[in-house]
């Protein structure tokens, strides 16, 4: 059964998109892709570009999941951070991961230009420090980015300079990355899907991939409620919603809910007063606040995570309270939209890419840091399916453990772990 988009600012401002039919009967193709978020749409697009016939299955609508609800701050790197990757993988591999992620931003710019995707792209990202410890961390990160990664376009904004750009006293400095950006994530995902269709991809909505299995030595059969896809390759991009379709992947990620509120339109002047350079902003806390202006002059503010899995607490109220902690001057402003979505965190916060069989690939574990990485991940999967797996395998070799505690205990264990990190934010 199709679920329409959750009510959000993005759904309300989405460009018209066709409602694709569900799959009925059998289709044959080179590659079946499951999940039409950015990862799935980008995989499909890049596979089609290489001349492969592609079928993309989406249980709900294109961009229904995290990709259509995201804070949409496009930033390089991975959620684990480069220092951790260095320790885990060694400097050479950590650098390869970094370079792919930077290419991810360039790829977004290229796709948006090439396919004329109208998605409110704005350059600029600021990572802010709330306390002296954060400032030291950001200075160390800046030195690392410049010295070890030759990453230019990033500089430190001391308090006074930052205060001229951001109308809040909460932050004492920021790392300003001119290469980072923000955008309308649902319109971007819809644009990628339309581009993939231009290249011949067949997209079926309201179609859940229920299961898959080998069909002879070299083919895979994907079962849906009213049909099946037979393909040479399968690419799983279902993120936290994949569930029982691929139980082997489930224990490596945990769904963590995060929430965003959108204010009523503030008018150009008032919006510009809040964030003068129109950059996206996030702080460096573990439970972080992230916010930006929208094209129609709202503030979009995300700032609450829920590790418990309980949906009963007042997420819009809690998120608004966090917004007012940053911008108390918005007390009179009405919240017009509030929505949430799940991010797919891995235990080590590194992305989880790999194969379940020689012809079954998967992309998951973006850990809340997937807007840019999902797109380039789709390109890496297309390279691998076409026989050049070197870049995909850099990621596929990253080791991942299951969340401890088994099905019953893993969420309580995570809640305890997160309590520790939240306490650390307060120090
Ligand atoms: C509220 C929120 C804020 C975020 N903010 C940021 C941010 O500021 N910056 C950043 O970099 N990242 C952010 N993220 C994370 C980022 O949005 C995600 O990493 C990224 O969008 C994941 O894309 P995806 O394609 O892997 O998954 P999704 O977009 O979730 O797509 C998966 C799709 O697969 C479909 N599906 C699943 N199983 C099946 C099946 N069996 N059959 C058919 N279809 C199936 C689902 O319906 C869904 O549409 C945020 C996420 C959320 C939720």
Residue closest by Cα to atom 3 of ligand 1: 70
Is residue 416 over pLDDT 70? no
pLDDT at 307: 57
pLDDT at 404: 76
Residue in the structure block whose two tokens are 């999941």:
65
Nearest to 140 by CA among 86, 73, 72, 104: 86
Is residue 213 over pLDDT 70? yes
Question: Of the ranges 195-204, 254-263, 389-398, which one carries the lowest mean pLDDT score?
Answer: 254-263
- When the pLDDT of each residue in the chain is averaged and rounded to a whole number, the result is 93
pLDDT at 235: 98
pLDDT range class, residue 166, cuts 50, 70, 90:
very high
Distance from Cα 329 to the centre of ligand 1, integer Å = 32
Atom number of ligand 1 nearest to Cα 344: 19
Bridging pattern class, strands 202-204 and 54-57: parallel
- Between residues 2 and 397, which one has the greater pLDDT? 397
Distance from Cα 268 to the centre of ligand 1, integer Å = 30
| pTM for the predicted model, two decimal places | 0.95
Let me know if 287 is exposed, middle or buried by CB neighbors in 10 A (0-12, 13-18, 19+): middle
- At what angle are helices 185-198 and 91-114 packed, to 10 degrees? 80
Ligand 1 neighbour 197 (Cβ under 6 A): no
Distance from Cα 36 to the centre of ligand 1, integer Å = 9
Residue from 10, 35, 240, 337 to probe ligand 1 pocket by mutation (most atoms less than 8 Å from CB)? 35
Count Cβ atoms below 10 Å from residue 116 Cβ, excluding itself: 9
Q: Tokens standing for 204?
A: 């079926």
pLDDT at 424: 59
Handedness of CA 179, 271, 17, 72 (dihedral sign): positive
Ligand 1 neighbour 212 (Cβ under 6 A): no
Contact between residue 319 and residue 306 where contact means Cβ atoms under 8 Å apart: no
pLDDT at 266: 98
Residue from 241, 322, 345 to probe ligand 1 pocket by mutation (most atoms less than 8 Å from CB)? 241
Is residue 132 over pLDDT 70? yes
Q: Kindly report, residue by residue over 178-189, the tens digit of the pLDDT.
A: 999 999 999 999
Distance from Cα 326 to the centre of ligand 1, integer Å = 27
Ligand 1 neighbour 250 (Cβ under 6 A): no
Q: Which residues pair with 341 in a beta bridge?
A: 258
Question: Of the ranges 28-32, 314-318, 402-406, which one carries the lowest mean pLDDT score?
Answer: 402-406
Contact between residue 271 and residue 301 where contact means Cβ atoms under 8 Å apart: no
Q: Kindly report, residue by residue over 238-247, the tens digit of the pLDDT.
A: 999 999 999 9
pLDDT at 312: 61
pLDDT at 1: 47
- What's the whole-number mean pLDDT along residues 124-129? 98
Atom number of ligand 1 nearest to Cα 64: 49
| Contacts of residue 9, Cβ cutoff 8 Å, sequence gap at least 6 | 262, 294, 298, 300, 336, 337, 339
Is residue 214 over pLDDT 60? yes
pLDDT at 422: 57
Is residue 53 over pLDDT 70? yes
- At what angle are helices 185-198 and 38-49 packed, to 10 degrees? 20
- CA-to-CA separations, 233 to 3, 34, 43, 144, 366, in angstroms, rounded: 27, 11, 12, 39, 22
| Contacts of residue 388, Cβ cutoff 8 Å, sequence gap at least 6 | none
Nearest to 307 by CA among 280, 286, 278: 286
Ligand 1 neighbour 303 (Cβ under 6 A): no
Residue closest by Cα to atom 52 of ligand 1: 70
Residue closest by Cα to atom 15 of ligand 1: 368
- What's the whole-number mean pLDDT along residues 206-214? 97
Is residue 407 over pLDDT 90? no
Query: Residue 123 has what DSSP assignment?
Result: E
Distance from Cα 240 to the centre of ligand 1, integer Å = 8
Half-sphere exposure of 171 (CA within 13 A, CB side): 32
- What is the length of the chain? 427
Contact between residue 38 and residue 196 where contact means Cβ atoms under 8 Å apart: no
Whole-angstrom distance, CA of residue 235 vs CA of residue 32: 6
pLDDT at 217: 81
Q: Kindly report, residue by residue over 301-331, the tens digit of the pLDDT.
A: 998 666 555 556 688 999 999 999 999 999 9
Residue closest by Cα to atom 6 of ligand 1: 71
CA 380 and chain centroid, separation:
16
Q: Kindly report, residue by residue over 257-300, the tens digit of the pLDDT.
A: 899 999 999 999 999 999 999 999 999 987 899 999 999 999 99
Nearest to 154 by CA among 145, 163, 165: 145
Whole-angstrom distance, CA of residue 163 vs CA of residue 306: 30
| Contacts of residue 234, Cβ cutoff 8 Å, sequence gap at least 6 | 31, 32, 33, 34, 212, 220, 222, 359, 360, 361
């Amino acid at each position: 059964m199709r679920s329409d988009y959750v009510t959000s600012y993005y759904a309300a401002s989405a460009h018209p998109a066709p409602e694709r039919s569900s799959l009925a009967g059998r289709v044959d193709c080179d590659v079946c892709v499951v999940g039409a978020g950015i990862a799935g749409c980008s995989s499909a697009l890049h596979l089609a570009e290489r001349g492969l016939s592609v079928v993309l299955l989406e249980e709900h609508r294109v961009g229904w999941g995290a990709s259509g609800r995201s804070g949409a701050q496009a930033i390089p790197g991975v959620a684990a951070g480069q220092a951790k990757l260095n320790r885990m993988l060694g400097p050479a591999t950590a650098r390869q991961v970094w370079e792919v992620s930077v290419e991810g931003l360039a790829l977004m710019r290229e796709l948006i230009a090439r396919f004329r995707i109208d998605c409110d792209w704005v350059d600029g990202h600021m990572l802010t420090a709330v306390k002296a410890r954060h400032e030291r961390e950001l200075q160390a990160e800046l030195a690392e980015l410049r010295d070890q990664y030759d990453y230019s376009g990033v500089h430190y904004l001391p308090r006074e300079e930052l205060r001229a750009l951001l109308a809040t006293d909460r932050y004492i400095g920021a790392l300003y990355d001119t290469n980072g950006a923000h955008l309308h994530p649902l319109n971007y995902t819809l644009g990628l899907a339309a581009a993939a269709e231009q290249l011949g991809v067949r997209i079926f909505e309201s179609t859940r991939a229920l299961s898959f299995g080998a069909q002879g030595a070299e083919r895979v059969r994907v079962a849906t409620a009213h049909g099946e896809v037979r393909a040479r390759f399968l690419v799983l991009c279902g993120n936290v919603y994949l569930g029982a379709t691929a139980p082997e992947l489930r224990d490596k990620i945990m769904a963590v809910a995060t929430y965003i509120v959108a204010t009523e339109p503030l008018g150009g002047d008032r919006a510009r007063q809040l964030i003068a350079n129109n950059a996206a902003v996030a702080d460096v806390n573990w439970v972080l606040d992230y916010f930006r202006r929208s094209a129609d002059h709202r503030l979009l503010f995300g700032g609450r995570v829920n590790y418990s899995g309980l949906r009963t607490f007042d997420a819009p109220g809690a998120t608004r309270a966090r917004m007012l902690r940053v911008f108390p001057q918005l007390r009179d402003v009405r919240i017009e939209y509030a929505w949430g979505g799940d991010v797919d965190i891995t235990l080590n916060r590194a992305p989880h890419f790999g194969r379940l069989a020689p012809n079954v690939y998967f992309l998951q574990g973006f850990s809340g840091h997937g807007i840019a990485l999902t797109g380039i991940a789709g390109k890496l999967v297309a390279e691998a399916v076409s026989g050049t797996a070197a870049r995909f395998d850099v990621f596929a070799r990253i080791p991942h453990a299951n969340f401890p505690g088994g099905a019953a205990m893993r969420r309580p264990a995570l809640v305890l772990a997160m309590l520790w990190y939240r306490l650390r934010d307060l120090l």
